[in-house]
Chain A
Amino acid sequence: METTDNKAWSPYVAGSLTGLVIIVSAWIAGNYFGASTCFVRVSGFIEQLFSPSKVATMDYFKWFGPKVDWQVMMVLGILIGAFISSLADGSFKVKAVPDMWAERFGPSPVKRSAFAFLGGIILMFGARMAGGCPSGYGLGAMVQLAVSGLIVVMCFFAGGIAFAQIIYRGGGNK
């Protein structure tokens, strides 16, 4: 598990600074945070490579069509920003199996990859059903006091906490 990590910033500080970024991006670009819509756009883009005529007729891709927009670039930026930050403070580490997972489910990278893939499918299916993810509903909708934001964020955590108790029952006491 993590020992001392003195290069980390307090989550209160990093979070509050993120709040400032949210404000500035609403101000300058008129955009609110979100991340899951761009997964729809990219999936549409990939599907288009195989069957363009089918994608063109699908209603959902009429709403969230395959295109590069502010949010696609923003999410791409998260990858780059985390890469820069982790290289700069030496916390970058190529790792296929997280410690907590290994402790409960064993060190197999194949097993971890398969479940990460499966979990990803379920998660995004739910996010699109709900209409967004923690970025869109928490950092985008809750900051605007939307009723939807409060309901969905509570359900994210309620579901996540309940299922995590089940999945981790009987093991991984750390």
Chain B
Amino acid sequence: MNTGTLINGLITGIIFGFLLQKGRVVRYDKQMGALRLKDMTILKFFFSAILTGMVGVQVLHMMGIAKPLILPANIGANIIGGLTFGLGWSIVGYCPGTSLGALGEGRTDAFWGILGMLFGAAAFAEIYPKFETSILTWGREGSITLPEVMGVNPWVVIIVFIGVGLALFRFLEKKGL
């Protein structure tokens, strides 16, 4: 790992943290506001980033400038892990990335959340061998993408995502969320 890569990571993180804080998505009240369906600020931020990123990253993939790196679908673990995450998220009120941002804007409870997350990571590492032969083998489909599974052009999927995203944004603004 060379120094250039590390500096690149740091700069990327600083800009990301700046934008997260400016969008006011790092704090507990905003995260829980979304989970309680009362304030959808984080959802607007999250999907704006995803929709924008989708278009650019697809262009990079097609031009061969950036290599795809697709996290594999392990459907059993994806679902059980995702729901477990949801339980923890509803208690701590920060996700791993935003917890650092919340600490950065002075929210000291995020420190305890981060400490818990480190314990959680260590605990998972401890139990991992047991899961490796059980849950992690359920529904192992490999690095599949939506266009592959549906047998369509990637841009069709992107256009659908954008359509659904814009409709969602419109709905949220209408409802004043």
Contacts and interface: CB of A to CB of B under 8 A. Distances in A.
| Same assembly | yes
Interface of A: 1-2, 5, 8-33, 35-36, 39-40, 42-44, 46-47, 58-61, 67-86, 89, 91-101, 109, 112-168, 174
Contacts of A70: 1, 5-6, 8-9
Given A9-B22, A58-B125, A79 B66 contact: no
A13 B19 CA distance: 9
Given A82-B26, A156-B89, A126 B82 contact: yes
Given A11-B45, A70-B8, A147-B141, A43 B85 contact: no
Contacts of B41: 11
Given A15-B52, A145-B54, 7 more contacts: A12-B48, A14-B25, A43-B121, A95-B109, A125-B84, A160-B87, A164-B32
Interface of B is mostly: helix
A54 to B, nearest CB: 10
B13 A154 contact: no
A147 B147 CA distance: 9
A52 B12 CA distance: 32
Interface of B: 1, 5-29, 32-33, 35-38, 41-42, 44-54, 56-58, 60-61, 65-75, 77-110, 112-126, 128-129, 131-132, 135, 141, 143-147, 149, 154, 157-158, 169
Given A130-B82, A165-B36, A59 B13 contact: no
A86 B21 contact: yes
Contact of B91 (A11, A12, A35, A122): A122
Contacts of A12: 44-45, 48, 169
Contacts of A25: 8, 12
B171 to A, nearest CB: 14
Contacts of A31: 8-9, 12
Given A78-B104, A155-B85, A145 B21 contact: no
Contacts of A164: 32, 35-36, 90
Contact of B35 (A33, A123, A133, A160): A160
B81 A29 contact: no
A23 B23 CA distance: 19
B140 to A, nearest CB: 11
Contacts of A141: 70-71
Contacts of A36: 96, 117, 121
Contact of A78 (B20, B123, B126): B20
B71 A95 contact: no
A32 B57 CA distance: 10
A100 B105 CA distance: 17
Contacts of B8: 25, 28-29, 31, 70, 73
Contacts of A159: 82-87, 89-90
Q: Which of B32, B80, B81 is packed against the most chain A CB atoms within 10 Å?
A: B81
Interface-central residue, A30, A126, A162, by most chain B CB under 10 Å: A126
Contacts of B25: 11, 14
